[in-house]
Structure 1
Amino acid sequence: LLELINDILDLAIIETGEVKLEEEEFSLRETLKKLIPGFKLQAKEKGIELDLIYPDSLPSRIISDKGKLIQILSNLISNALKFTEKGKVEVRLESLTDSKIQILVKDTGIGIPKEKLSHIFDKFYQVDGTLRRKYQGTGLGLTIVKGLVDVLGGEIKTQSTLKRGSTFSFSFSYKPVQEKIEEIILDKAQDKALFKVRQKARGDINILIAEDDDFNYYIIDRFLKDYTTSRAKDGKDVLERIEKKRFDLVLMDIQMPE
């Protein structure tokens, strides 16, 4: 009953057009990594797999409505697990444009008859009355999902095959976040050493960059693009390299592992 009341209230707010975007900057990857484990236990209890596929090509941070995305995904994943007795549920993200992402929730569940697909977003609609008794539910979840997707400036689609499974895919718009490149501040000793290095022919200078962070290394390496550079990822690697080769300069992270 409480679930029904909450769903009715959510739907009423959506239908009045009073739902507003509450945009914030956040990590979509981390948000999903925190959301998915909450459903892992339910999947494990049913003996099915729950997988998240998040391509590296997607932006690490975006500006969008985090709360509504969580509500949409929670509803779709919950439905997929509810109607899947064996097999798996897969959550996959894809980039559509520089400002639009698509998320697919695919299951190997009971599926939906083709003639019923056009009605699944209708209020209180149940594909089969007997399913309501077996799986429970208010019949408002997908209606709310569609309303929230509309608010996010996207669209939702469904593909389904009876007894083989369903795929719900929705898109949403986001604002890209300008990646911030932190300023590299050299202390006096480092600055003096670099000044001496610059006095020599640049191509003849060998510099060892001891840096375990990939992003920091990339920035330093770009800064020293006119020199010959090598990289060490930890203190042990530094010692091994300087024993084998003479370097004109070693730039070392003071918090290096090992």
Structure 2
Amino acid sequence: MLTTSRGISFLLAMAIAALTVAFLSLLDDATPTLLVVAGVLSFSLSYILTNVTLEFLIFKEISNIYQLLEKVQKKDLSDISEHSYRTSISPLRKINQTINSYAIAKNKEIETLQKNAVFRKEFIADISHELKTPIFAAQGYVHTLLDGAVEDEEVRYKFLKRAAKSLNNLDKLVQDLLTLNRMENGVVKFHFENFDIKDMILEVIEQLEHKADRRDVLVRFYFDKNDTFDTHADKDKIYRVCQNLISNAIKYNNDGGEVVIRLEKKKNKLHVSVRDNGKGIPEEDLKRIFERFYRVEKSRSREGGGTGLGLAIVKHILEGHKSRIKVESTIGKGSTFSFSLPVA
């Protein structure tokens, strides 16, 4: 009985009523009726006030604290939500609020660790798969030569050339991984300078001309010939951004398709967009295409010789320029990638 608010309130109310009656009985004009009424009133008021105080300021808060502690102990933090408390005179309410904040922080920490664990598993699986392909290809050609094919000069040259290509792909993959890792850790330094981004895009188009011709893809570049397009950025890294976007637009386009590049000056920004009319990207994949090794078409993941890290590197380069890559895509109609840089 003493462990409940009602039991404690009853005992305190009885004591207060007894003291009140004892005090009034010392008065000369105190009548038995007055003493009874005073005793009943003091007991009732004391019981109600004490019970309300204990129930809402102490026992209820202690119960909430126990519930939170049980959830923390069981690591069941999924249904704990962040909410604000009303100002209260109860110190237990503040303790409850502190424990709740701690539980929320722990819940977020657990969610982060779980996401990181999933990411590590996916990354290890992806990197193993990506490394296995060029290694196994080079091994196959070399072992074939060692088994006797080395005597045939034509076969020897062809297999050595293919093995070298596989090793070059492996080297490119490792270099992209190192570049991405340095960017994420903030090790890569950006060397900003003024340059004409129009001329740079023309260089990229010229470099990828043979790739476009092989697939019969027409590359169009639109810009205002009467305007200048000088920007202040890291030229080499922006070159890589444009190279990756235009190369992807050619690679994932339809044979005989078209790539449209637009360069526009809008106020104090230079806006670059690269559009293709290929298959497009499903909506569920749009949020993940900038992740490491994420590929929309698994079956065609390597036919273009990419490492699966290009868009991840593009994203980090543009973030280093206080910009971001945007993408819009419609299935069956193609995709558009765009970014902006400041006018020099």
TM range (shorter): 0.5 to 0.7
> Whole-Å Cα distance in 2 between the matches of residues 62 and 43 of structure 1?
27
Q: In structure 2, what residue type is equivalent to 1:171?
A: S
Corresponding residue number in structure 1 for 2:185:
16
Query: In 2 relative to 1, CA 137–14 (structure 1 residues): closer, same or farther, beyond 3 Å?
Result: same
Corresponding residue number in structure 1 for 2:139:
none
Query: In 2 relative to 1, CA 58–5 (structure 1 residues): closer, same or farther, beyond 3 Å?
Result: farther
Instruction: For 1:40-189, list aligned pairs within 5 A.
Output: 40-56=209-225, 58-85=227-254, 86-98=256-268, 100-174=269-343, 176=344
Tell whether 2:195 aligns with 1:26.
yes
Report the 3-state secondary structure (helix = DSSP H, G, I; strand = E; otherwise coil) of the residue aligned with 1:36: helix
Confirm or deny: 8 A CA contact 1:126 1:139 kept in the other structure.
yes
> Whole-Å Cα distance in 2 between the matches of residues 57 and 103 of structure 1?
17
- Equivalenced residues, count: 174
Higher strand share: 1
Confirm or deny: 8 A CA contact 2:270 2:340 kept in the other structure.
yes
| Runs of 4+ deviating beyond 3 Å | 133-136
Deviation, 1:22, is: 0.8
Report the 3-state secondary structure (helix = DSSP H, G, I; strand = E; otherwise coil) of the residue aligned with 1:127: coil
Confirm or deny: 8 A CA contact 1:3 1:138 kept in the other structure.
yes
Corresponding residue number in structure 2 for 1:39:
208
Deviation, 1:135, is: 3.6
Query: In 2 relative to 1, CA 66–58 (structure 1 residues): closer, same or farther, beyond 3 Å?
Result: farther
Deviation, 1:133, is: 4.0
Deviation, 1:122, is: 1.0
> Whole-Å Cα distance in 2 between the matches of residues 14 and 167 of structure 1?
25
Report the 3-state secondary structure (helix = DSSP H, G, I; strand = E; otherwise coil) of the residue aligned with 1:138: coil
- Higher RCO structure (Cα 8 Å, ≥6 apart): 1
Q: In structure 1, what residue type is equivalent to 2:187?
A: E
> Whole-Å Cα distance in 2 between the matches of residues 65 and 58 of structure 1?
21
| Deviations, residues 58-96 of structure 1 (Å, cap 9, x unaligned) | 434333221111010001111111111232011111223
Corresponding residue number in structure 2 for 1:6:
175
> Whole-Å Cα distance in 1 between the matches of residues 315 and 301 of structure 2?
20
Query: Normalising by the residue count of structure 2, what TM-score does the alignment of the two structures yield?
Result: 0.48
Query: In 2 relative to 1, CA 172–19 (structure 1 residues): closer, same or farther, beyond 3 Å?
Result: farther
Q: In structure 2, what residue type is equivalent to 1:122?
A: E
Query: In 2 relative to 1, CA 133–37 (structure 1 residues): closer, same or farther, beyond 3 Å?
Result: closer
Confirm or deny: 8 A CA contact 2:231 2:341 kept in the other structure.
no
> Whole-Å Cα distance in 1 between the matches of residues 235 and 265 of structure 2?
17
> Whole-Å Cα distance in 1 between the matches of residues 227 and 320 of structure 2?
22
> Whole-Å Cα distance in 2 between the matches of residues 132 and 154 of structure 1?
28
Confirm or deny: 8 A CA contact 1:103 1:169 kept in the other structure.
yes
Deviation, 1:114, is: 1.1
**Larger radius of gyration between Structure 1 and Structure 2:** 2
> Whole-Å Cα distance in 2 between the matches of residues 64 and 78 of structure 1?
21
Deviation, 1:148, is: 0.4
| Deviations, residues 199-236 of structure 1 (Å, cap 9, x unaligned) | xxxxxxxxxxxxxxxxxxxxxxxxxxxxxxxxxxxxxx
Deviation, 1:104, is: 0.4
Query: Normalising by the residue count of structure 1, what TM-score does the alignment of the two structures yield?
Result: 0.63
Structure 2: where are the runs of 5+ without partners? 1-169
> Whole-Å Cα distance in 1 between the matches of residues 315 and 212 of structure 2?
24
Please identify, of 72-81 and 125-134, the stretch whose mean Cα deviation from structure 2 is larger. Answer: 125-134
Confirm or deny: 8 A CA contact 2:201 2:242 kept in the other structure.
no
Corresponding residue number in structure 2 for 1:182:
none
| Deviations, residues 136-176 of structure 1 (Å, cap 9, x unaligned) | 422211000000011111111111112221100111234x2
Deviation, 1:10, is: 1.2
